[in-house]
Amino acid sequence: MSLLKQLFLAICLFLLVAFSGSFFVSLESSREQMLGQLRSHAQDAATALGLSLTSQVDDPAMMQLMVSSIFDSGYYTSIKVVNLEDQGVLLERSAAASVEAVPGWFVRLVNLPAQGGDALVMHGWEQAARVEVLSNPQFALARLWDSSLGSLVWLLVCGLLSAVLGGWLLRRQLRPLDAMVEQARAISRRELLCLSNVPRTPELKRVVLAMNQMVEKLEGLFAEEAARSEKLRAESYQDSMTGLGNRRLLDEQLGDQLLLDEQSADGYLLMLRVNDLGGLNQRLGGQRADGLIRSIGELLKRISTQAERRHWLAARNRGGEFSLLTPGLDSHGAERLAMEISATLENLRLTGASDCTPVAHLGIVAYRPGEQLAQVWLRLHQALAHAQLHPERPWALLQAVAAGPRQAPHDWRTWLDDALSHGKLKLYFQPVVQCADTSEVLHHKVLARVLDPQGEAIAAGHFLPWVERLGWSARFDLAMLEHTLDYLLEHAWPLALSLSGSTLRDPAALQQILAQLKALPELASLLTLEIDERQLPSASELQRLSQCLRGSGYRIGLQHFGGHFSQIGNLAHLGLAYLKVDGSYIRDIDRQSDKQLFIEAMFRATHSIDLPLIAEQVETRGELENLRALGLFGVMGRLIGPPQPM
């Protein structure tokens, strides 16, 4: 029972007890007073009648008249004149003692009997008769009943006002309790919220301050672990001079993810090498040469962090050699990018450098999932050598060997438009299991296949780049969500579905998604929407999205996490369902101690706010055992199970 109801019942009980006590005390006092008044009334009537009858004792008719006049003018039950010699009744008037407009139970409760009085009638100096008068309590009972009703109505009005005012005051005073309940629920959803409005009530104030102190402590622990994890990641995967990724990160992103994962898109890898870096150091000094390196790093960082290129990776291999990994880029885009970089590099030419040679040469090669990493690097060095042999153009581009569906842009547009319009999508599912017990399925990741005109399922890595180029990402996500919800209506399996960054930045598409989700609240416990870490919106937009999804009952998760670990501080306020660690940080973790330290630090940071950590792309038994020893919550990958249609 709520505190408000308890208070209301307590007020009612208190008023009942107060009314009962007051009623009985007042009733008893009034009863004694009424009895006295009735006795006085009867005695006064008897005395007056006795005196009046003294002169008329020998006249029975006059006595009858006087008795009738007294009886009819007051509230009497009976008036008798008794002869003192033989105790015979000379004259009597009486009436039934009826009480009107007063309930019988009240008459029995009050128990107000009739009161009497008597007086002597003298005949000269002798006592001739006795007058006996018995009063009628009808009037007294009516007065007591009206007084009791007035007291009851007044107490009821006071009780109602007390309940209303008490309830309002209680709600006002206990409003901080509602805020603390919401704060506790937020903590259970892995959101760390501090209450800004501290109540004035000392008891509640202490509780709110204690809760805020606990939240601040958790935030401090989380921030400390996050900083430690970010430091380990930077030491392992970041170039200290430019802030770009290093060669190790590039190899893992390209070789362990893009080339091995059939869901990955085709793309291009660009290598930039500064001409005669050693000579520049000798002629211009190390400080100016380092400035050139940092400028090139800023250029590549600016290119790779543009909104539509958030999944690109810029890295410094060594010395004056840089790389730019561009998944999803087509050949025309690669040529435009090469010309853009070459033109910008000429503006960075240092005084004292040779004017006849470019600042740097660029080699560009296409890659496709399924290729060997060594083959990609071999062709990349060939492209770079070709650029160095032809000074008229400082860049060279080599295409990959044709693999997979190669269609003209018009064909892709036609196929995809037909597939999205007529629902020619096929759902594939990859299991995500508990790390400690791989037989316990947590959920299934939903993957997409598009059916071509021949009915063949095309992997996402081939058609997703075209979906993005055509600007149909939101349209594709809406179609996938519709298919997934239809599937959940028939099969109650927990699923996870990805949303693209383009959809997150499209308010109209988000409204359509939220409308579909709110229309099916019964499926909220079965579906988690995932966002790619590389396509995260701004912190404020992500906060609003998280609140909207929580309002519909659905949850949100983060996949491919780890590349921007510095953002983990914002995750404490989002109430995420889980974090999925990018597979590049999982590959060969059983043989690389620095990866173990990084994942361990990440686990400690997320564990401090009870945020489950799931490893992606687990491929070997050694990786699984190592992750199990680290305490991760879940795993997924080809070791657990490849994507399959249901």
> Does pLDDT of 307 surpass 70?
no
Angle in degrees, 0-180, between the axes of helices 409-422 and 473-490, rounded to the nearest 10: 30
The 8-class DSSP code of residue 257 comes to: I
Same domain, 394 and 278: yes
- Whether 162 is covered by a domain: the verdict is yes
Burial category of 169 from C-beta neighbours within 10 Å (exposed 0-12, middle 13-18, buried 19 and up): exposed
Task: Label residue 408 by pLDDT band (50, 70, 90).
Answer: low
Hey, what long-range contacts does 195-202 have (CB within 8 A, 24 or more apart)?
199/173, 199/175, 201/173, 201/176
Name the token pair of 591.
């043989």
Predicted pLDDT at 442: 94
What is the band of 564 on the pLDDT scale with cuts at 50, 70, 90? low
pLDDT tier at 547 (50, 70, 90 boundaries)? confident
The answer on 84 and 19 residing in a single domain is: yes
Amino acid 42: pLDDT? 78
The single-letter code of the amino acid at 259 is L
State whether 35 and 144 are in the same domain: yes
Sheet (strand 126-135) strand order:
89-94, 76-83, 126-135, 116-123
| Bridge pairing between strands 76-83 and 89-94 | antiparallel
The verdict on 13 and 36 lying in the same domain is yes
End-to-end CA distance of the chain: 48
Residue 176 is predicted with a pLDDT of 75
pLDDT tens by residue, 235-247: 778 888 888 888 8
Assigned domain for 50 exists: yes
Instruction: Quote the CA–CA distance of 505 and 228 in Å, as a whole number.
Output: 31
Beta strands 644-645 and 126-135: pairing type? unpaired
Same domain, 367 and 418: no
Average pLDDT over residues 446-466: 80
Structure-derived torsion over alpha carbons of residues 105, 107, 111, 116, reported in degrees to the nearest 10: -160
Same domain, 532 and 606: yes
Q: Looking at 141, 170, 199, which one is the last position of a domain?
A: 170
Of the ranges 128-142, 146-160, 376-390, 560-574, the best mean pLDDT one: 376-390
Which of 319-323, 329-333, 446-450 is least confident? 329-333
Nearest to 549 by CA among 569, 571, 577: 577
Render 601-614 in DSSP notation, one character per residue. HHHHHHHTTT--EE
| All residues at 6 or more sequence positions from 207 whose CB lies less than 8 Å from its CB, including other chains | 176, 180
537 within some domain: yes
Mean pLDDT of the region 355-377:
81
The SS3 assignment for 564 reads coil
Pairing of strands 644-645, 360-367: unpaired
pLDDT of 600-617, one tens digit each? 888 887 887 788 999 998
Count Cβ atoms below 10 Å from residue 604 Cβ, excluding itself.
18
Give the model's pLDDT for residue 403.
Answer: 46
| pLDDT band with cut points at 50, 70 and 90 for residue 352 | very low
Element containing residue 131 per DSSP (H, E): strand 126-135
* Last-in-domain residue among 170, 197, 227: 170
Distances 581 to 187, 500, 527, 593, 595 between C-alpha atoms, Å: 22, 18, 20, 17, 12
- pLDDT on residue 483: 92
Q: In this model, does residue 434 exceed pLDDT 90? A: yes
CA distances from 71 to 96, 135, 625 (A): 13, 10, 111
As a whole number, mean pLDDT of residues 426-455 equals 89
Residue 108 has pLDDT above 70, yes or no: yes
Q: Are residues 165 and 279 in the same domain?
A: no
Residue 155 sits in a domain whose CATH number is 3.30.110.200
Residue 53 in contact with residue 63, Cβ under 8 Å?
yes
- Domain assignment present for 372: yes
Query: Up-side HSE of residue 168: CA atoms within 13 Å toward CB?
Result: 5
Q: Which pLDDT value is given to residue 488? A: 93
Give the DSSP letter string of 463-529.
Answer: HHHHHHHTT-HHHHHHHHHHHHHHHHHH----EEEEE-HHHHT-HHHHHHHHHHHHT-GGGGGGEEE
Q: Are 246 and 615 in contact (CB under 8 A)?
A: no
pTM of the model: 0.63
Q: What is the share, in percent, of the chain residues with pLDDT greater than 70?
A: 89
Give per-residue pLDDT as tens, 498-514.
988 888 888 888 889 98
Total count of domains within the chain: 3
Cα–Cα distance, 625 to 446 (Å, whole number):
26
Instruction: Determine the pLDDT at residue 567.
Output: 61
Angle at 117 between CA 116 and CA 120, to 5 degrees: 145
Instruction: Give the CATH number for residue 605.
Output: 3.20.20.450
Name the average pLDDT for the chain: 81
Q: Would you state the pLDDT for residue 132? A: 85
Q: What is the DSSP letter of 392?
A: T
Indicate whether 232 belongs to any domain: no
Dihedral sign of CA atoms 218, 224, 226, 229 in order: negative
Q: Which long-range contacts (CB under 8 A, 24 or more apart) does 343-348 make?
A: 344/299, 345/272, 345/296, 345/299, 345/394, 348/292, 348/295, 348/296, 348/299
Share of the chain above pLDDT 90, in %: 14
pLDDT at 482 over 50: yes
Residue range 84-105, pLDDT digits in tens: 778 787 788 877 666 667 887 8
Range 394-399 average pLDDT = 85
Q: Are 458 and 521 in a shared domain?
A: yes
The confidence band for 624, taking pLDDT boundaries of 50, 70 and 90, is very high
**In Å, how far from its chain's centre is CA 117?**
82
Beta bridge partners of 557: 530
Q: How far is CA 305 from each of CA 120, 235, 244, 308, rounded to the nearest angstrom?
A: 122, 21, 11, 8
- At 633, the pLDDT band (50, 70, 90 cuts) reads very high
Residues 366 and 423 in one domain: no
- DSSP secondary structure string, 297-366? HHHHHHHHTSGGGTT-EEEEEETTEEEEEEET--HHHHHHHHHHHHHHHHTTPPTTS-SSS-SEEEEEEE
Q: What is the CATH number of the domain that holds 309?
A: 3.30.70.270
Domain identity same for 389 and 452: no
- Which residues neighbour 159 within 8 Å (Cβ) at sequence distance 6 or greater? 11, 12, 15
What pLDDT, on the 0 to 100 scale, is given for residue 209?
83
Which are the contacts of 316, defined by CB distance < 8 A and separation ≥ 6? 239, 241, 242, 244, 245, 246, 247, 293, 297, 322, 323
Integer Cα distance of 45 and 119 in angstroms:
9
Q: Are 400 and 334 in contact (CB under 8 A)?
A: no
Mean pLDDT, rounded, for 384-402:
78
> What is the domain range of residue 423?
409-645
Residue 476 falls inside a structural domain:
yes
pLDDT tens, residue by residue, 208-255:
888 888 877 777 777 777 777 777 777 778 888 888 888 888 888 887
Domain contains 200 = no
Specify whether 116 is located in the same domain as 10: yes
Q: Is the per-residue pLDDT at 401 higher than 70?
A: no
Residue 452 lies in a domain: yes
Q: Please answer whether residues 227 and 608 qualify as being in contact, where contact means their C-beta atoms are separated by less than 8 angstroms.
A: no
* Residue 23, pLDDT above cutoff 60: yes
Q: Which residue has the tokens 């898109």?
A: 265
d(CA 558, CA 556): 7
Q: Which of 398, 427, 454 is the last residue of a domain?
A: 398
Q: And the tokens for 601?
A: 């630090």
**Same domain (yes/no): 17, 136:** yes
